[in-house]
């Protein structure tokens, strides 16, 4: 379990650095586009690249945000339940979300494969963009993995009193 | 089964999942929206829908505005801009009765102009202002409430994450919404200052005057204000004259804030890394909320419940303002029981079409919703700003903070009433954009 947890943390730490890199690229690209537009001509394809970079920035931070409990929820009622009930409810919560994001990741990956096979390119730069779509799929799968680790931790926690 | 009934059951299940499982709002909306779509249309169509919605929402150019403005706020936080703003406001107003509290509101107003989050505004200003007010024996019933409620200016004054989310969800011009928030934020600030003056008039011991400063000190302190005002003018001014898109304005804001942070040598490597990580976390949370709301909105759209509710409310033989009062009451209660932004995203698919069907101006209605959403951040039991102040000053009892906030709640309510009576306060600047 500890190994899985460590893998999850290391993976998400790497992904958050990649996401941070793309965030900086977004700022530099937009600033360069504004400056060059004023003095010469705009950077071609900024609009579509920003969308793709934004997708990577967010998707690769999905797992990290879950680890840091950054997604907002309502715990006002759950906190009133017994510890055992809370564990069961949290477990159900993690399991449902894990299944959902696995399905979502699979669907986005399927979409990316279609884009790859049909040779779809962007309108302005005429470049392939399926790697970004695979990036979003990867983000969803990593989030599922984090949720799986959370679920397993919950199960182990539940068994502890019996040890 | 009747589709409207399916829609109602979907909403009930969503609430059950939110309250009984404690599932994050964005996840819950996506899961329930997906299951509802499965039931009404088909499993295959629902699968395709979530795949497409995730990719198209995440890669939408319009959404890239979020990480940029969030990063700008965190950079300003790490660069210590708030301290210099507070110092300037303190030099000019600190010697008045309640002057340090007024200075906090003034600095909040300016910091809100470069930071789009109420929590970040409250945390930043609290860290700077609370020790000062403690030093000059301010009563915590005044000081804590000032910091808690002053943070709400971060939500109303552009650039605001809440306004961006409303703009993206309702497909309105973010530039217009930003401009619509300027005068209401100034009005709210003025009403907070009036509240402080009234409190200190009746309880002078709550806010004893601070030491006087010389004219030279006052002028010197203005350098701390100029940088924030310059960034605000560049960002919002650029949007106003159509020089930038909102995303570009965000990038310009980040760039300028970064230059200020480097020039003042306040930004450390750790500060920068933390700013990036916090930005990614907040942006991801907002993206998930927006995507969840879109998926849930698709389910509601196939059940047609939103249109039916809007038509039903529009046909009611009562004034639209009675229905508006009812909507605002729901937001007030909703803000008390869950995170304000989450509640807003959850309810926009139903209440926005309803407001439009009632004939309200979309920009005005959005700002009214923003204002009432801000109350959720300062009302118990889940008012996030209250807990920010509690974390900064653990010695202040939570009950005392609640009491302190109650003084300022009236100012918030009065400002909403004024905006309803005088919609031009919101619409004056956006209409100049025409």
Residue, of B153 and A79, whose pLDDT is higher: B153
Instruction: For residue B7, say if its preceding peptide bond is cis, omega within 30 degrees of 0.
Output: no
Rounded to two decimals, the pTM is 0.84
Rg value, chain B, Cα: 22
pLDDT (mean) for B22-32? 89
Contact call for residues B385 and B355 (beta carbons, < 8 A) = no
Q: Using one digit for the tens of pLDDT, what is the confidence trace for A110-137?
A: 999 999 999 989 888 899 999 999 999 9
Residue, of B221 and A99, whose pLDDT is higher: A99
Tokens 């399991």 sit on residue: A95
Q: Using one digit for the tens of pLDDT, what is the confidence trace for B58-97?
A: 998 888 888 998 898 888 888 888 888 888 888 888 888 8
Per-residue confidence (pLDDT) for residue A163, from 0 to 100? 39
Looking at chain B, how many residues does it have?
434
pLDDT (mean) for A59-87? 87
Q: Using one digit for the tens of pLDDT, what is the confidence trace for B213-255?
A: 888 988 888 887 888 889 888 888 888 888 888 889 999 999 9
pLDDT (mean) for B399-412? 89
| Beta carbons of A72 and B342 less than 8 Å apart | yes
Across chain A, mean pLDDT equals: 90
Per-residue confidence (pLDDT) for residue B344, from 0 to 100? 85
* Nearest-by-CA chain A residue for B30: A100
pLDDT (mean) for B154-162? 88
Per-residue confidence (pLDDT) for residue B335, from 0 to 100? 76
Say whether pLDDT at A63 is over 80.
yes
Residues 16-75 of A with CB under 8 A from B: 16, 19-20, 23-24, 26-27, 30-31, 33-34, 47-48, 50-55, 57-59, 61-62, 64-65, 68, 70-75
Say whether pLDDT at B13 is over 50.
yes
Note the Cα B379 to chain centre separation in Å: 14
**CA-CA distance, B375 to B336, in Å (whole number)?**
8
**CA-CA distance, A100 to A140, in Å (whole number)?**
9
Q: What percent of chain B has pLDDT over 70?
A: 99
Report chain A residues whose CB lies below 8 A from the CB of B59.
51-52, 54-55, 132-133, 136
**CA-CA distance, A119 to A127, in Å (whole number)?**
9
The torsion region of residue B324 among left (phi > 0), alpha (psi -120 to 50) and beta comes to: alpha
Residue A102 tokens read as 């696995």
- The dihedral sign for the CA sequence B292, B298, B304, B309: positive
| Beta carbons of A64 and B281 less than 8 Å apart | yes
| Beta carbons of B26 and A71 less than 8 Å apart | yes
Q: Using one digit for the tens of pLDDT, what is the confidence trace for B42-53?
A: 999 999 999 999
Quote the minimal CA–CA distance from B289 to chain A in Å: 8
Q: Using one digit for the tens of pLDDT, what is the confidence trace for B364-390?
A: 999 999 999 888 778 876 677 888 888
Per-residue confidence (pLDDT) for residue A159, from 0 to 100? 56
Say whether pLDDT at A162 is over 50.
no
Q: What percent of chain B has pLDDT over 90?
A: 35
| Beta carbons of A136 and B337 less than 8 Å apart | no
Say whether pLDDT at B258 is over 50.
yes
Q: Using one digit for the tens of pLDDT, what is the confidence trace for A84-93?
A: 888 888 899 9
Report chain A residues whose CB lies below 8 A from the CB of B247.
30, 50
ipTM of predicted complex: 0.92
Report chain A residues whose CB lies below 8 A from the CB of B244.
34
Query: Nearest by CB to B54, which of A47, A77, A104?
Result: A104
**CA-CA distance, B282 to A58, in Å (whole number)?**
10
């Amino acid at each position: 379990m500890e190994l899985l947890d460590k893998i999850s943390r290391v993976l998400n730490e790497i992904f958050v650095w990649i996401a941070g890199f793309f965030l900086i690229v977004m700022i530099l690209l937009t600033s360069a586009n504004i400056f060059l537009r004023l003095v010469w001509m705009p950077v071609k394809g900024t609009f579509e690249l920003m969308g793709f970079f934004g997708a990577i920035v967010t998707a690769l931070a999905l797992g990290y945000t879950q680890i840091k409990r950054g997604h907002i929820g309502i715990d006002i009622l759950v906190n009133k339940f017994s510890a055992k009930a809370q564990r069961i409810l949290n477990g159900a919560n993690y399991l449902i979300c894990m299944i959902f994001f696995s399905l979502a990741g699979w669907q986005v990956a399927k979409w990316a494969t279609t884009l790859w096979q049909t040779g779809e390119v962007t309108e302005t730069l005429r470049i392939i963009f399926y790697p970004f779509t695979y990036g979003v799929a990867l983000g969803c799968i990593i989030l599922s993995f984090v949720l799986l680790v959370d679920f397993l931790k919950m199960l182990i926690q539940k068994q502890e009193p019996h040890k | 089964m009747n589709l409207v009934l399916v829609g109602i059951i979907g909403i009930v299940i969503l609430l059950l999942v939110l309250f009984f499982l404690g599932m994050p709002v964005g996840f819950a909306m996506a899961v329930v929206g997906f299951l509802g779509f499965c039931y009404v249309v088909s499993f295959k169509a629902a699968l395709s829908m979530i795949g497409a919605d995730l990719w198209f929402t995440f890669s939408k150019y319009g959404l890239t505005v979020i990480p940029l403005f969030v990063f700008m706020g965190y950079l300003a936080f790490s660069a210590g801009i708030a301290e210099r703003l507070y110092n300037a406001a303190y030099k000019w107003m600190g010697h008045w009765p309640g002057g340090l509290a007024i200075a906090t509101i003034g600095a909040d107003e300016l910091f809100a102009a470069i930071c789009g989050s109420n929590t970040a505004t409250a945390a930043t200003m609290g860290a700077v202002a609370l020790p000062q007010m403690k030093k000059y024996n301010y009563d915590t019933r005044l000081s804590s409430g000032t910091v808690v409620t002053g943070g709400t200016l971060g939500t109303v004054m552009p650039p605001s994450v809440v306004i961006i989310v409303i703009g993206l969800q309702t497909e309105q011009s973010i530039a217009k919404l930003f401009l619509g928030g300027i005068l209401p934020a100034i009005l709210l600030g003025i009403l907070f200052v009036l509240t402080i003056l009234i409190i200190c008039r009746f309880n002078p011991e709550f806010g004893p005057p601070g030491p006087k400063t010389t004219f030279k000190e006052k002028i010197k302190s203005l350098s701390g204000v100029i940088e924030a005002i310059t960034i605000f003018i560049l960002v919002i001014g650029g949007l106003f004259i159509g020089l930038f898109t909102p995303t570009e304005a965000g990038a310009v804001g980040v760039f300028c804030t970064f230059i200020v942070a480097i020039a003042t040598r306040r930004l450390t490597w750790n500060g920068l890394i933390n700013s990036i990580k916090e930005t990614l976390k907040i942006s991801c949370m907002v993206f998930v909320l927006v995507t969840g709301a879109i998926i849930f909105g698709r389910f509601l759209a196939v059940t047609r419940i939103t249109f039916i509710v809007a038509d039903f409310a529009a046909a009611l033989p009562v004034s639209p303002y009675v229905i508006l009062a009812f909507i605002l009451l729901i937001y007030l209660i909703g803000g008390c029981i869950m995170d304000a932004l989450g509640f807003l995203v959850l309810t926009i698919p139903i209440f926005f079409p309803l407001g439009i069907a009632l004939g309200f101006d979309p920009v005005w209605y959005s700002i009214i919703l923003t204002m009432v959403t801000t109350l959720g951040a300062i009302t118990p039991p889940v008012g996030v700003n209250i807990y920010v102040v509690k974390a900064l000053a653990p010695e202040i009892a939570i009950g005392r903070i609640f009491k302190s906030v109650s003084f300022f709640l009236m100012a918030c309510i009065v400002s909403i009433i004024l905006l309803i009576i005088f919609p031009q306060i919101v619409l004056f600047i956006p209409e100049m954009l025409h």
